[in-house]
Amino acid sequence: MAIAPKSNSPKNAGLEAREKLGWWRAYRFLILRRLSQLSVVLMFLSGPLWNVWILKGNYSSSMLFDVIPLTDPLITAESLATGYVPEWKTLLGALIIVAIYAFLASKVFCAWICPLNFVTDCAAWFRRKLGIRQSAKLPRNLRYGILAMILVGSAVSGTLLWEWINPVAALGRVFVYGLGATLWLVLAVFLFDLLIVEHGWCGHLCPIGATYAFIGAKSIVRVKVVDRKQCDRCMDCFHVCPEPQVLRLPLNGKPEDSQIVLDKDCISCGRCVDVCAENVFTFSTRFEKEKRII
């Protein structure tokens, strides 16, 4: 007997998974992501608080154990665009970051490391619970245009243009140095996502996310649809996914279409895996056929 299609309310997304599979199963990747994000913050704070320097610097440029350089690829690209060649440690740090994220998973920085993800996730949660409908539409490719404009603007102005208004760096400074004048950028992102465009910042505007989309376009770990027939069209995955367009082809495509989410905009957050009561999704690799690895 075929399962009749159904559609759950956005505010109840994940409720069926909690009831059927249990609390941990319905939140495991969300919890692990928060622990990952908090761990990075604590690594930055360990020096100022306990004089144990794990990460020294900020989200744009830092040193791991005062030995391994880590540099944001976007700020490095901005520097090169201005005509200034950074010192070798900065370039090495950018290469290390690119190598790690190119290998791991699509936009894994956005979901597992970026501190602003907690802010945008909170805005999306409030939208669902308050029943706020999207009041504006923006093209999702706009972020790639913004990325191009930043690089061109940096080349023309001779300055690191994006760093003047980078909300990720602003939030990182809040964690390390306390509340400051740049906190308004974080508040602006929250209100924009809450009141103007659902997943507006990460899903439409963020040039950092656009950078990591290019870096991780061919990464290994991917979300996979185990079996399209298991999907009962409850829509919970679409309600919680910050990039719901990436789910359409794997779930609703033709039989010959891939059931692995290969879209570069997937942020590998695992929320679709969490909230699906029918176990339609799993984490796999871009080369996997049938075997599940999680």
More confident residue, 118 or 172: 118
What percent of the chain is predicted at pLDDT more than 70? 92
The answer to whether residue 43 scores a pLDDT higher than 90 is yes
Count CB atoms within 10 A of the CB of residue 252. Answer: 12
Residue 6's pLDDT is 66
State the pLDDT at residue 139: 93
How far apart CA 272 and CA 183 sit, in angstroms, is 31
Give the pLDDT score at 2.
Answer: 42
Task: List phi, psi (to 5°) of 94.
Answer: -65, -40
E strand residue ranges, the chain: 55-57, 61-64, 68-71, 221-225, 281-285
**Comparison of pLDDT for 120 and 177, the residue scoring more:** 120
* The pLDDT of residue 176: 61
| Joined tokens for residue 274 | 């969490």
Alpha-carbon distance 102 to 58, whole Å? 21
Average pLDDT over residues 271-279: 95
Evaluate if residue 254 carries a pLDDT over 90.
no
Residues 6+ apart with CB under 8 A from 246: 261, 263, 265, 266
Angle subtended by helix axes 73-81 and 142-157, to nearest 10: 40
Q: Would the pTM of this model clear 0.85, i.e. be above it? A: yes
User: How does residue 175 score in pLDDT terms, banded at 50, 70 and 90?
Assistant: low
Residue 177's pLDDT band (boundaries 50, 70, 90)?
low
Range ranked top by mean pLDDT from 202-216, 225-239, 244-258: 202-216
Nearest C-alpha neighbor of 111 from the set 15, 197, 216, 195: 216
pLDDT tens, residue by residue, 59-107 = 999 999 999 999 999 999 999 999 999 999 999 999 999 999 999 999 9
pLDDT band at 292 (very low <50, low <70, confident <90, very high): very low
Q: What pLDDT is recorded for position 181? A: 56
